[in-house]
Amino acid sequence: MQRHTITPRKNWEEKVKEQGFLFYKNESYYSETAAYEFTAAEVDKIEAATAAIFEMCMAVVDHVIKNDLWDKFFIPKEYADLIKWSWQEDMPSFYGRLDLAYNNGDIKLLEFNADTPT
């Protein structure tokens, strides 16, 4: 992976504000001054890690459902039947974003954001 210093896009702050991205000023969260270039092999490794992490997350969902761990995961019990039905019908559909750290080829999951609407 190579980090490239770039010139921020013209009017980028106005554009992100218009889209509702209001916490962009935290430099550790978002920066318009850098871009990253990955090799095809690095992209393949990230894609494989992403698939493996997602499968692990689905295994957790399966465990929660099979063991009725709704309270432990702060899931209101009134949704249990709908969740079970969705799972049994193979419809685990939701949007999510995996936040990953990448350092010299090592990939680490920081957070899986799948609890907020897109």
In degrees and rounded to multiples of 5, residue 57 shows phi and psi of: -65, -40
Structure tokens at 24: 């962009």
User: Which stretch of DSSP H or E encloses residue 36?
Assistant: strand 34-37
pLDDT bucket at 88, cuts 50 / 70 / 90 = very high
pLDDT (0 to 100) of residue 117 = 56
**Quick one: average pLDDT of 10-27?**
81
Q: What is the pLDDT of residues 65-84, one digit of tens each?
A: 999 999 999 999 999 999 99
pLDDT (0 to 100) of residue 59 = 94
CA angle 32, 38, 40 (to 5 degrees): 150
pLDDT surpasses 60 at 9: yes
**Average model confidence (pLDDT) for the chain?**
89
pTM of the entire predicted model: 0.74
**Quick one: average pLDDT of 1-30?**
84
Annotated domain spans of the chain = 1-37, 39-118
